Structure 1
Amino acid sequence: MQKKFGTIRGVFIPSYEALFGAVLFLVLPMLTGAMGFWRMALIVVLSNTVTLATAFSLADCVTNLRQVGPGGMYALARRSFGRAFGGSIGIQLFLAQSVSIGFYVIGFAEPLQEVLSGLPGYRELVASLGLSLLEQKQVIASLLAVVGCVSSLIGADFTSRIQVVIFFILTASIGAILISPLVGTPSSEGGVFANRLNLTGLGGFGFWVAFAAFFPAVTGIDAGVGMSGELKDARKSLPLGTFLAIAVTALGYLGVTYVYSLMDPHLLLRGEGGEVPSLVALFGRNLPAVSLLVLLGILFATGSSALAYFLTAPRTLKTLAEDGILPGFLSFVRKDFVKGGSEPRWATLVTFLIVLGTVWSGDITFVSTVVGICFLVVYGWINVAAFFERMSGNPSFRPTFRGHWAISLYGALLALAVIGLFNVWVGLGVLGSQLLLFWLLLKYRAGGRLEGVWWGLIFSVLQWAFGRMRRIIQGTKNWRPVMGVFAFADRPEQIEQGVRVASRITAFKGLSVFNLLRPDDFEGEIDSGGDTAVIFQRKNPFSALIRGAALAAMPGGLVLNTVLLPLDRRLNLIDLVEELAGEGRHVLLYKHGVPRGEEDERIDVWWKGQENGNLMALLAYIIRETDAERGLPRKRIRLIRVLEERMERVREEAELRSLLDVARLEGEVLVLDPDERPFDEVVEEHSRDASLVLMGMPGQRASGLARVFSLDRREFDRQIARFDELPPVLFVKSAYRVALFDEE
């Protein structure tokens, strides 16, 4: 049975050792000499606020879960952002963790090579092998990587025991630095300490340059968080261990900064050749014991960080594979090659290969910047996750930790700002690569559907917007189609046509709600999707159901102002259209027509007056714009009017042209002489090559909206059938006059 860890061994010690890294010994002395105590202390505090805010966000996310599971920060991101977006974060996190091991073992090799070079026989051995200085360090780093890999393969318990030993050695080294002023001698007597505290520094660095140089020191908390799957009680240990590690290391950094401020600042600046001053050599002047402990501290600070991430990175990779995020050929990393084992040993070997690639890649300065930004991106998203969770107001988000959204927002914004300080273009590249990973995972792993907090977040935004909409008068200039679409479940062609027509009208200019009418004798499967309501009918007429659905209230004070009905004999369309129009709902009937293969890119609107014609003209404009948005040819709109007795051609044509001009609708006007032929024959002659025809419903009176039909049902069906040979036709019944332009 795999051993589970508590707060100290599982979270605090790995985070403590990753936070107290090489920056403490190699970079902080030089920065303190240049910046002075006050500014350097401010940098330490400001840097730690990012980590602290991330810890608050982490506590929010962790204490909201019943069980955290393996994967560390990736697991938290996946729970909040879903599989696709969380997976893109997890992949970047794993790569950053793996490559950072390479940096740490190289950092270990730097001082060790200097020590080894003083041993007898070392220079002869190196010369015989023909190794350059860089290659010597790479060989040493590779050997340390092998040690870390082997210890990780043995198991987490073995590695954790090594970390405990390193913890005491590292603490002793830091303690030696803190007490060194009590036993050291002033620089005037050959020591390193000055007679006064260096408050302002000697210059040489700008504040934000120094901030960016120090900040990597505080990006190690995921070393402990990554052990989430190995903890006895992750909900308790992760927040507690992380907060404890941040508090202790922040105080440690402030204390060491104070000690460095007591040193002679001239000794801490870069040499003439640009070399960084050696803390080991400085203390070696008259404090050999401290110098030895500092050397051990440097070695173990880098080695322990490498060891911590050798535990964390494989577990992140294994969890990614178990969640189906990785390609199929990497599925083996889920397994352990030891029979009955549960350690991520295959994942450890993959991590080891990445480490070796990093060590032998040559100059890793640019890669280190990329990895640092990757960690910042992950930290930023953890803060965003907690912020989104609180903003969403989801009832399921009930963390026992009482954080605040402002803390998470601060952490996210400051992480973004620090990315800019490192390198804006690299930051954009890292974010861009993550979005590319997200798109690929969304398409190939999540079926194109988002998961996680997004629905609740958008719902909260909509809820807020609906509340504001109730206080705003819509007016004529803001009319948009809010459409209820109805079709029978046993008529696939109705469903297809209804979806297509509704999409052309509402995709960019309005909203649509699709309703499937399911007869009692229908036994087929219905895939309703997320935007479709399925209405079951047994005895009551379908028309009554449609009328009830069309008149139902919607959030935000919205109402269905338009209804798209199918041409189906099970509906009493004459009464239904008249009732819906009387209740203020525009009604549309779509007849698919006969595709001719030679249609002109034109929409014909048969005009009989503004009562019904305004709506038809507006729908024609909306359909044209929707098609254009989708990359289809922009269709021409043509208003056609058949003159009646005592109508003047010039006057009617001028009125239509004026209407188009005032309403700013691009279109043509065609005025036809009075014609004794049936109306469908006239339409056939002039609109046979149109892509879509809009006209009033058969039986509709030319003036007034009080009554819709003067035909019985049989005559209505016969009139509709007359247009069977036409292109697609949209029959329109306007419930009221729609304004084509702002008339105020």
Structure 2
Amino acid sequence: MAKKGFGTFKGVFIPSFEAIFGTVLFLVLPMLTGAMGFYNMLLIVVLANSVTFATTFSISDCVTNLRKVGSGGMYALAKRSFGKAFGGSIGIQLYLAQAVSIGFYVIGFAEPLQPLLMKIPMYASWAADAGISVALQKQLLATVLSVIAFIAALVGADFVSKIQLLIFFILIAAVGSIMISPFFEKSVVGKSIFTSAPNLTGAGYAIGFWAAFAAFFPAVTGIDAGVGMSGELKDPRRSLPIGTFLAIFVTLLGYLVVTYVFSLMRPELLLPQADGSVPSLVKIFSSTVPFASYMVLIGILFATGSSALAYFLTAPRTLHTLANDGLLPNFISFLGRDFFKDGREPRWATVLTFLIAVSIIWSGDLTFVSTVVGICFLVVYGWINLAAFLERISGNPSFRPTFKGHWLVSFYGFAFAIGVIALFNIWIGIGVFVSQLILFFLLLRFRAGNKLEGVWWGLIFSVLQWGFKRAKRLIQGTKNWRPIVGVFFFADETSYLKPELEIAERISSFKGLALLNALLPAGKELPELPPEASVLRGSDFSSLIVGASFASLPGGLGVNTVMLPLDRRLNHLDLMDEFSSQGKHVLIYKHGSAFQESPRIDVWWKGKSNGNLMALLAYIIRETDLQLGFEKKEIRLIRMLSDDNQKNEIEKKELESLLELSRLDGSILVLDKDERPFDDIVSEHSSDASLILMGAPGQRGAGLARWFSLDKRGFDKQIEKFENLPPILFVRSAYSVPLFDEY
């Protein structure tokens, strides 16, 4: 069956209008006006509405940028901008605030209804005989209204919208009766409630400006009732901005006129009494403007009832969308379905919403819970404004809303919403934010695969772009050297892929960058690779590696270190000579036993030219392991003595001084001259290390020149001698990297 869909008036304007013209107008605004005066309340009303105006600007930005809005209201918009995990955390809080609000509204309905019913003899007699207290009567009445609203919501949105249309006209009559009441006051000696001039500055009652602002602000947060109907609209991209703006504009004018009328009343009639009770408009109007008294009573009842109805529509739809998006635990996934196979109403979600509302009615003191709910709504408004702000400033090319807002408006809405939270209760506000972060991390891990979506990429890209542009102005010298590693691996050799990428990550994760490049022989099928890896397909692998290594990067950056796999298809000697001549360090990785089994990294030192880089890499790897939660490793510098005893003593002291100055927190092992093959010596002393760093074959040096002066074939044979050792990084340094600041 085709979905009908609501238009702007019935789908957005009426729900928002009825939620904004709620109990605050009838029960709270008179007292605030009497205490603060017209000027202060005029400023409060305008300031409060400025937040919802800014939020509506942000909503319009987000809505008109989407081809399809979908159901879920503000949650749907948050999800589009912030991604599944963060948007889901906002949606869950929004749903709970909506569901709990129903409980408050039906209790507000019961407040004036209970004393009215007590005037009926049969009801009063029944309550007295049953010994039912006033508080219990109000809870029972609120429960009855909840059941009625629940049944109406189960029937469907179309049925509820017809009821809301009736309530709309009743509310207009109730508010209108207040506006015209000064013209129809009966002349009763000593009982006049209106004065000839407005109360402009207040009656001196002890209430601060921001306290009054916090008391009034919930009146203007009803725009969520209309936005929450996004999935039921014919054209949400058009209806949501127009309907919400129109509702705010009309209700703002209404509040300004009603505030002026209240300022014409004698302040002492509106201020709290000695016992703390606030005078009722119904009672105030009863003596001189009786028709207004009746209309205010009806207005209070229908305002609270309509708000409860509105949230009985929006809350289940938010929950229904959360369930269908896979953000709820599997055992309650049925909340995304209807009772009936082909039904479109969120009836299971409506049942849970009803249970939450009833539990709130019977929970007792609601002051704390009401503050939490108000802050939850403010948090949602703040995030919607922030979403539009970030979309604007990130310059995302895909963000092209037809509504032409400005980032300053959205930022104002975000900042003011956060400020109002502090006015309500800063500690509860912090608690709400913390609970949302917990929800976010849980959803990120279990529902989003630890992947952020949405505006974050555009924002981070903009920050990087800004940084790269300015990095071009900086001199990139050896001070504060960081590894920018071009990592190369053969895509058809999957057995060594994981360990090679792990060592690359440990070198670059926290101190530099790693650029992954998969070498794929021609004719081979592309296997599953890390998503960030580039694929280099061909047969001349040396040319592919050299070309990729010299490619320019943003910000004037370039690869300063090349990491090669140990594979016979490569001529490592030629590549090392090529990169060294161009000022690029070379690392050749040989896989071995498990990387984390030993708490020590061995560096075979043979002088500063190559040794400094090896020592620095060992330090970087150790610090990365600590960041990842592994045990701290000892760095051990190993030095073989030569025939020159005097030189040996100088070099030993040099190593000790180097450790102290560079703060590598390691140890030194000095070995006597040994005529055995070098691989035997390494095996004896480093077979229990977690990682070994040593000079790459091909380097020429005194004493071991015959070992380092090798062609490709000899290189491969020498490497094979280290086959049974732990992982090894063979290092060829293009220049001496300083280990500490010389100045």
After TM superposition, the score normalised by the length of structure 1 is 0.96
Query: Is 2:500–2:591's contact at 8 Å kept on the other side of the alignment?
Result: no
**1:742 corresponding residue in structure 2:** 741
Aligned with 2:224 (options 222, 225, 240) = 222
**1:53 corresponding residue in structure 2:** 54
Query: Is 2:637–2:668's contact at 8 Å kept on the other side of the alignment?
Result: yes
Aligned CA distance change for structure 1 residues 394 and 589 (closer, same or farther; 3 Å): same
Q: Distance in 2 between matches of 1:595 and 1:273?
A: 76
Per-residue CA distance 1:660-698 (angstroms, 9 max, x = gap): 233232222333333333222332333333322211112
**1:181 corresponding residue in structure 2:** 182
Query: Is 1:574–1:709's contact at 8 Å kept on the other side of the alignment?
Result: no
**2:520 corresponding residue in structure 1:** 518
Query: Is 2:375–2:421's contact at 8 Å kept on the other side of the alignment?
Result: yes
Aligned CA distance change for structure 1 residues 427 and 295 (closer, same or farther; 3 Å): same
Within 5 Å, which residues of 2 pair with 1:594-633? 594=593, 599=598, 601-633=599-631
Q: Distance in 1 between matches of 2:246 and 2:141?
A: 33
Aligned with 2:313 (options 311, 314, 332) = 311
CA drift of 1:411 comes to 1.0
Give the partner amino acid of 1:239: P
Aligned with 1:417 (options 412, 416, 419) = 419
Query: Is 1:593–1:723's contact at 8 Å kept on the other side of the alignment?
Result: no
Query: Is 2:679–2:721's contact at 8 Å kept on the other side of the alignment?
Result: yes
**1:550 corresponding residue in structure 2:** 549
Give the partner amino acid of 2:547: G
% identical aligned pairs: 64
Q: Distance in 1 between matches of 2:658 and 2:151?
A: 82
Q: Distance in 1 between matches of 2:180 and 2:611?
A: 90
Query: Is 1:37–1:258's contact at 8 Å kept on the other side of the alignment?
Result: yes
**1:373 corresponding residue in structure 2:** 375
**1:390 corresponding residue in structure 2:** 392
Q: Distance in 2 between matches of 1:699 and 1:580?
A: 13
**2:432 corresponding residue in structure 1:** 430
| SS of corresponding position for 1:640 | strand
| SS of corresponding position for 1:477 | coil
Aligned CA distance change for structure 1 residues 191 and 455 (closer, same or farther; 3 Å): same
Within 5 Å, which residues of 2 pair with 1:492-531? 492-523=494-525, 526-531=527-532
Aligned CA distance change for structure 1 residues 442 and 405 (closer, same or farther; 3 Å): same
Within 5 Å, which residues of 2 pair with 1:78-97? 78-97=79-98
Q: Distance in 2 between matches of 1:334 and 1:199?
A: 53
**1:157 corresponding residue in structure 2:** 158
**1:40 corresponding residue in structure 2:** 41
Q: Distance in 1 between matches of 2:690 and 2:156?
A: 70
Per-residue CA distance 1:209-231 (angstroms, 9 max, x = gap): 11111111111101001111111
Give the partner amino acid of 1:626: T
Give the partner amino acid of 1:701: R
Q: Distance in 1 between matches of 2:4 and 2:433?
A: 37
Per-residue CA distance 1:686-724 (angstroms, 9 max, x = gap): 333332221111231138xxxx96321111112212222
Give the partner amino acid of 1:288: P
**1:640 corresponding residue in structure 2:** 638
Q: Distance in 1 between matches of 2:187 and 2:262?
A: 13
Within 5 Å, which residues of 2 pair with 1:525-544? 526-537=527-538, 540-544=539-543
Aligned CA distance change for structure 1 residues 592 and 335 (closer, same or farther; 3 Å): closer
**1:139 corresponding residue in structure 2:** 140
Q: Distance in 2 between matches of 1:714 and 1:191?
A: 111
Within 5 Å, which residues of 2 pair with 1:68-79? 68-79=69-80
2:264 is aligned with 1:262: yes
Per-residue CA distance 1:349-403 (angstroms, 9 max, x = gap): 2221221111122222211111111111111111111112112211110000111
CA drift of 1:338 comes to 4.3
Query: Is 1:476–1:742's contact at 8 Å kept on the other side of the alignment?
Result: no
Q: Distance in 2 between matches of 1:487 and 1:188?
A: 98
CA drift of 1:647 comes to 5.3
| SS of corresponding position for 1:639 | strand
Aligned CA distance change for structure 1 residues 127 and 189 (closer, same or farther; 3 Å): closer
Within 5 Å, which residues of 2 pair with 1:170-319? 170-184=171-185, 189-201=190-202, 202-319=204-321
Query: Is 2:573–2:698's contact at 8 Å kept on the other side of the alignment?
Result: no
Uncovered stretches (5+) of structure 1, i.e. residues with no partner = none
Query: Is 2:88–2:440's contact at 8 Å kept on the other side of the alignment?
Result: yes
Q: Distance in 1 between matches of 2:37 and 2:595?
A: 83
**1:691 corresponding residue in structure 2:** 690
**1:676 corresponding residue in structure 2:** 675
After alignment, is 51-60 or 330-339 more displaced? 330-339
Q: Distance in 2 between matches of 1:631 and 1:158?
A: 58
Query: Is 2:701–2:708's contact at 8 Å kept on the other side of the alignment?
Result: no
**2:474 corresponding residue in structure 1:** 472
Give the partner amino acid of 2:729: L
Q: Distance in 2 between matches of 1:138 and 1:262?
A: 36
Per-residue CA distance 1:104-144 (angstroms, 9 max, x = gap): 11101110111111112111111233321111111111111
Query: Is 2:596–2:690's contact at 8 Å kept on the other side of the alignment?
Result: no
Q: Distance in 1 between matches of 2:299 and 2:673?
A: 101
Aligned residues: 736
Query: Is 1:562–1:586's contact at 8 Å kept on the other side of the alignment?
Result: yes
Query: Is 1:314–1:351's contact at 8 Å kept on the other side of the alignment?
Result: yes
Give the partner amino acid of 1:449: K
Give the partner amino acid of 2:370: S
Q: Distance in 2 between matches of 1:598 and 1:94?
A: 48
Aligned CA distance change for structure 1 residues 247 and 682 (closer, same or farther; 3 Å): same
Uncovered stretches (5+) of structure 2, i.e. residues with no partner = none
RMSD of Structure 2 on Structure 1 (CA): 1.9
Query: Is 1:476–1:741's contact at 8 Å kept on the other side of the alignment?
Result: no
**2:328 corresponding residue in structure 1:** 326
2:664 is aligned with 1:662: no
Within 5 Å, which residues of 2 pair with 1:329-348? 329-338=331-340, 340-348=342-350
Query: Is 2:492–2:527's contact at 8 Å kept on the other side of the alignment?
Result: no
After alignment, is 685-694 or 219-228 more displaced? 685-694
Q: Distance in 2 between matches of 1:534 and 1:597?
A: 30
| SS of corresponding position for 2:211 | helix
Give the partner amino acid of 1:665: L
| SS of corresponding position for 2:514 | strand
| SS of corresponding position for 1:121 | helix
Q: Distance in 2 between matches of 1:186 and 1:501?
A: 91
CA drift of 1:80 comes to 1.0
Q: Distance in 2 between matches of 1:596 and 1:224?
A: 58
After alignment, is 513-522 or 501-510 more displaced? 513-522
Q: Distance in 1 between matches of 2:686 and 2:319?
A: 63
Q: Distance in 1 between matches of 2:297 and 2:564?
A: 82
Q: Distance in 2 between matches of 1:620 and 1:494?
A: 21
Q: Distance in 2 between matches of 1:693 and 1:549?
A: 27
Per-residue CA distance 1:566-591 (angstroms, 9 max, x = gap): 11011111111211222221110112
Q: Distance in 2 between matches of 1:503 and 1:451?
A: 23
**1:403 corresponding residue in structure 2:** 405
